[in-house]
A and B are shown apart, each in its own frame.
Chain A
Amino acid sequence: MMRKRLLICCLVIVGMFFFTLDSFAAEKWMQGPEVANVKWTVRQGETLTIGLNKHPFTESLRPLIPEFEALTGIRVAYIILPEQEYFEKLLIDLSSGAGVFDVYMTSPMFEWRYQYAGWIEDLWPYYNNPELSDKEWYNRDDFITTVMNANNWDGTIGGGMGTGRWNAIPVMVEYYVQAYREDLRKKWGLTVPKDYNEWLDVVTKANEAGGKDFFGIVERGIRSWSTVHSGYFTGFNSWGQKDLNEKLKAAIHTKRAKEFTKIWVKGLQEAGPPGWPTYTWYDAKQSFAAGRFYMYNDCDFFAASYEDPEKSVVAGKVGYALPPAGPDGRIVSNMWTWSLAMSSLSKHKEAAWLFLQWATARKTMIDSTIKHNNFNPTRRSIWNDSQVVEKVRPWGSRPGEYKDVVDVLYDKYGDIRWTPNPDVTTVGDLWCDALHESYARQKSVEKALDDSAKRINRVMKKWRMALGIKD
């Protein structure tokens, strides 16, 4: 009997020991960098220069940088530029071999070009170096799989995403939703569009109901791939369409592609503001927050601005819904993720890796989300953290609406819809011309898409030749 009790006691003690050990291990990755088995001060005294885009993520990172400097003794200098200027300045830095930036903000669409040009460092060797990384503390598996995979590419033109080189670490992710004025929807008896014909109907009615200084719809419009990327590509892909086909030829001018584009352009012409092609995402966001538009099919995370009463007159009046479905009921969303990458030209690569590891660790990222509004987080544990859930709960026409919508996008509908290739932004820019030309009524939608397709085919010709793809 005594022996039996002793045995049970021993078993309980051993069990408790393993339980404690397990919970200890589980908690390590949730703690700050001081518990990590990383020699943070190994590059003390060095100075890093970081290239940052003017973006809410940047604003969330800046206040935290002194913590990194105190932890490592590495000085951090940064350059912040508006998006277009940023990418151009970065291109000059990388292509000229100047190597001013040790770390820079980027995204998979740009990584594909930089990888071919040899301007971006593969992060695997640094991650696998036990002197520089603590895998258990870093917990790479906590990142949302599609988002992390988007930053891995094996260089296959037309595929290969999620394997091969690890180019960058995602720091925020955005999907494309319908953000609309719930208060006006109720007032005017409108529905939340379930498909694109309904979408056209709703935004046109809202435009009519809103009067002279109010418009039914706004979308980003400048001559750039980004105009194609968000709401437009989301709808385009929900109609089952792709940018390029398997022969790497433009597929933007199929019958269905033209049908969808007609609806989109008509919406902008009939319910959009005059001068749509001057709108950047930033202008459109500000104008929506100023109460000038009924709907904006763009980034979900703009909710953080819309719902901030200091920055917005529509706080508490906005509803969020999944993008409308295509004719077959298919719902998708394109995805964009800002990531941090290391320049191949950097002279401080180990210091740069320490920065990347610190900036994307759970502790830093949860601080950037909770304290400084970095949405949407790329780590699942942060998105599901009770404080984050509580923070986003009021966003939407009902409690928890925003979270519910983004949850589905994270898990089911959101992914990068572009065909991986280094010239993807060129393809997007040329595609955007078709939207502008048809919006300006210079050409019919059919002709504009046909013309852009020809131009895209000229750009992609070298890849078809290199890969031996016959027309």
Chain B
Amino acid sequence: MRETEANRSSRACGTAAESVEIPVGEGLKGWSKRVKRKIITPKSIPYLLYLPCFIVTVGILYPFFRSVYFSFTDYNLTYRTASFIGLENYVEMLISSDFWNSVRVTLTYAFSATTIELALGFAMALLLLKPIGGRTIYRAIILLPFMIPPVIEAIMMRLMLAPVIGVVNYLGSFVGMPRLGWFGEANTAMFSVVLIDVHNFTPFAAIILLAGLQSLPSRPFEAARVDGASSWFIFRKLTLPLLKPVIYVVILFRLIESLIMFDMIYAGTKGGPAKATMSLHVNAYYHAMRWTMMGEAFVQLVILWAVVFVCSFIIVRAWRRALGKRLI
């Protein structure tokens, strides 16, 4: 009986071995050549080249449109419901004072952080442009805060700015500074989170602007100096207009990043106190990850996306215009 089974299996192996001997390799090669010839035609090449980009776009757009869809539902993780409720979430949100507070906080945070970073970054870039000794070392040092992850930066600053045990209040007391609540008081919390954003991201603005300044053509500046133009005149009439495209790039990056800022605010204040730093993103996080109200959370994120889109659109248009003028 065993022998018979062994024979059978050996025959089976033999059959399999025989089938392997068929010149599959060559067959496959021929088949793939035929397929290639049929698929890769002059007409199809543009579409095929576009395909990876299309896949990536779908990969991005699918979750986006899914989120937009969920914003029209009562999607709740706890009750696992996702019934379509039309504009109810949007209406509830638009009549809620909390929502408008979040819009105000988001815009205040983004515009103040971007403005300060741009101004300080510009000043730093101009300083770093001067031919001073150890310039390369300064440039490396100035980048250090940018290398700190935002969450770490926020936690570090929270410890330093702690009202009772923080080092800032302690050192401030020697110069008569009143004890401040920093992250813990509604009137100083926004200033505190903007401060950590500025500390973290000003180097980014400075480095981009420095690169922009270094790339400016030297001839117009030499001509202006020969004509006896003052430094202020040169700055106003030459440096700024020529640097405009770079400035717009800095504004674009920093504004988008600040509008969607989550980690620094959440790690610093958790949106408090008294909702003084409750940005749209943080508010959406509370709705989604603490209260499981995904529908309401997606409304806020969709609106945030719209704000970011409009701002980006305006800045990119201005950037194109500035670039066009510079080329002329």
Other-chain residue from B77, B183, B291, B292 in contact with A275 (beta carbon distance below 8 A): B183
Q: What's the minimum C-beta distance from B98 to chain A, rounded to whole angstroms?
A: 7
Is there an interface contact between A278 and B184, defined as CB atoms closer than 8 Å? yes
Check if A221 sits within 8 Å of B184, measured CB to CB: yes
Chain A stretch 409-458: residues in CB contact (< 8 A) with chain B: 422-423, 425-426, 429, 433, 436-437, 439-440, 442, 451, 455, 458
Q: Which of A117, A223, A274 contacts B272 (CB 8 A)?
A: A223
Verify A274–B77 contact, CB threshold 8 A. Answer: no
Contact in complex: B289, A276 (CB < 8 Å): no
The interface stretch among A50-58, A88-96, A345-353 is A88-96
A95→B291 CA distance, assembly (Å): 12
Write out the residue numbers on chain B whose beta carbons fall within 8 Å of the beta carbon of A224: 270
Does A292 sit within 8 A of B, measured CB to CB? yes
Say what secondary structure dominates the interface of chain B.
loop
Which chain B residue has the least Cβ–Cβ distance from A88?
B289
Known contacts A273-B164, A437-B274; A95 and B292 CB within 8 A of each other: yes
Interface of chain B residues 255 through 313 with chain A (CB within 8 A): 269-276, 286, 289-293
Q: Is B78 an interface residue (CB 8 A)?
A: yes
B273 contact from A116, A287, A423, A439, Cβ within 8 A = A439
CA–CA, A423 and B98, complex, Å: 19
- Verify if B320 is at the interface (C-beta below 8 Å from A): no
A278 to chain B, nearest CB (A): 4
Q: A275-B163, A278-B162 are in contact. Are A436 and B78 (CB under 8 A)?
A: no
* Whole-angstrom CA separation of A223 from B189 in the bound complex: 13
Q: Does B79 contact A (CB under 8 A)?
A: yes
Decide: A274 near B185, CB < 8 A? Known: A425-B290, A455-B98: yes
Known: A95-B77, A422-B78, A440-B273. A278 touches B186 (CB 8 A): no
Nearest B residue (CB) for A287: B164
| Residue of B whose beta carbon sits closest to that of A119 | B78
- Does B158 reach chain A (CB closer than 8 Å)? yes
Question: Are the CB atoms of A426 and B275 closer together than 8 Å?
Answer: no
Q: Are A440 and B274 in contact (CB under 8 A)?
A: yes
Q: Known: A426-B291, A455-B98. Is A222-B185 also a contact (CB below 8 A)?
A: no
Is the Cβ of A440 less than 8 Å from the Cβ of B276?
Answer: yes
Q: How many residues belonging to A are interface residues under a CB distance threshold of 8 Å?
A: 41
Q: Specify which chain A residues have a CB less than 8 angstroms from the CB of B293 in the assembled complex.
A: 426
Q: How far is B141's CA from A387's CA once the two chains are assembled, in angstroms?
A: 58
Produce 1/0 per residue, B74-97, CB < 8 A to A.
000111100000000000100001
Q: In the complex, A5→B157 CA distance in Å? A: 87
| Nearest CB of A to B157, in Å | 12
Cβ–Cβ contact B270 & A274, under 8 A:
no
Asked if A277 CB lies within 8 Å of chain B CBs, one says yes
Is B204 engaged at the interface, CB distance under 8 Å to the other chain?
A: no
The stretch of B9-17, B33-41, B50-58, B174-182 that contacts the partner chain: B174-182
Bitwise interface map of A from 383 to 425 toward B, beta carbon under 8 Å scored 1, else 0: 0000000000000000000000000000000000000001101
Q: How far is the CA of A451 from the CA of B96 in the complex (A)?
A: 11
Does A215 belong to the interface (CB within 8 Å)? Answer: yes
> CA of A113 to CA of B293 in the docked complex: distance in angstroms?
13
A213 at the binding interface (Cβ < 8 Å): yes
Number of interface residues of B (CB under 8 A): 35
The one of B78, B184, B274, B291 that contacts A429, using a Cβ cutoff of 8 Å: B291
User: Does B165 belong to the interface (CB within 8 Å)?
Assistant: yes
What A residues does B289 contact at CB under 8 A?
88, 91-92
Looking at the complex, which one of A88, A116, A440 makes contact with B185 (CB distance below 8 Å)? A440
Give the contacting residue for A223; candidates B158, B164, B271; CB below 8 A.
B271
Chain A residue with Cβ nearest B287: A426
Query: Which residues of chain A (264-278) have a CB below 8 Å from chain B?
Result: 273-278
Which of A116, A275, A279: most chain B Cβ within 10 A? A275
Query: Which positions 63-91 of chain A face chain B at CB distance < 8 Å?
Result: 84, 87-88, 91
A275 and B272 form a contact (CB under 8 A): no
Nearest B residue to A225, CB-CB = B290
State A213–B162 Cα separation when bound (angstroms). Answer: 13
Contact with B along A190-219 (1 / 0, CB 8 A): 000000000000000000000001010000
Main secondary structure of the interface of A (DSSP, over half): helix
**Cβ of A215 and Cβ of B186 under 8 Å apart?**
no
User: Which residues of chain B are within 8 angstroms of A223 by Cβ–Cβ distance?
Assistant: 270-273
Please measure, in the bound complex, the distance between the C-alpha atom of A433 and the C-alpha atom of B184, giving whole angstroms.
13
Q: How far is the CA of A278 from the CA of B274 in the complex (A)?
A: 11
Give CA–CA (A221, B290) in the complex, Å.
17
Residues in B with CB closer than 8 Å to A458 are 92
Q: Measured between C-beta atoms, what is the minimum distance from B14 to chain A in Å?
A: 42
**A273 pairs with B274, CB closer than 8 A:** no
B186–A442 contact, CB under 8 A?
Answer: yes
Q: In the complex, are the beta carbons of A278 and B163 less than 8 A apart? A: yes
Chain B contacts of A215 at CB under 8 A? 164
B270, A273: Cβ atoms closer than 8 Å: no
Report Cα–Cα, A459/B79, bound state, in Å. 13
Cα-based distance from A88 to B289 in the complex (angstroms): 6
Bits for A255-290, please: 1 = Cβ < 8 Å to B, else 0: 000000000000000000111111100010001001
In the complex, are the beta carbons of B80 and A117 less than 8 A apart? yes
Expressed in whole angstroms, the minimum distance between the Cβ of B216 and any Cβ of chain A is 46
> Which residues from A are CB-within-8-Å of B273?
221, 223, 276-278, 436, 439-440
A423/B184 in contact, CB under 8 A: no
A276, A277, A279, A425: most-surrounded residue (chain B CB, <10 A):
A277
Q: Are A222 and B80 in contact (CB under 8 A)?
A: no
- Is the pair B184, A276 in contact by a Cβ cutoff of 8 Å? yes
Q: Specify which of B78, B97, B274 is in contact with A277 (CB 8 Å cutoff).
A: B274
Asked if A116 and B164 sit within 8 Å, CB to CB, the answer is: no
Chain B neighbourhood of A277, CB < 8 A: 184-185, 272-274
* A116–B158 CB distance below 8 A: no
Measured between C-beta atoms, what is the minimum distance from A383 to chain B in Å?
A: 34
Nearest-neighbour CB distance to chain B for A434, whole angstroms, equals: 9
B227 to chain A, nearest CB (A): 57
Q: Are A273 and B78 in contact (CB under 8 A)?
A: no
Question: How distant is the Cα of A171 from the Cα of B249 in the complex, in angstroms?
Answer: 56
Q: Is the CB of B80 within 8 A of A275?
A: no
Residues on A with C-beta less than 8 A from B165 are 287, 290, 292
B144-199 CB contacts (< 8 Å) to partner A: 158, 162-165, 179-187
Complex: chain A residue closest to B165, CB-CB = A287
Least CB distance, B176 to chain A, in whole angstroms: 13
Decide: B79 and A116 in contact? CB cutoff 8 A: yes
Q: How many angstroms between the C-alpha atoms of A210 and B124 in the bound complex?
A: 45
Additional A-B contact list (12), CB under 8 Å, known A117-B80, A436-B274, A440-B276: A88-B289, A92-B289, A221-B184, A275-B164, A275-B185, A278-B269, A279-B184, A287-B164, A423-B291, A426-B293, A439-B274, A442-B186
Q: List 22 A-B contacts (CB under 8 A).
A: A91-B292, A113-B78, A221-B184, A222-B270, A222-B272, A223-B270, A275-B181, A275-B184, A276-B184, A277-B273, A277-B274, A278-B158, A278-B162, A278-B181, A278-B183, A278-B273, A279-B184, A283-B162, A423-B78, A426-B291, A433-B275, A436-B274
Pairs A-B, 6 closest by C-beta atoms: A275-B184, A277-B273, A275-B181, A275-B163, A440-B186, A274-B181
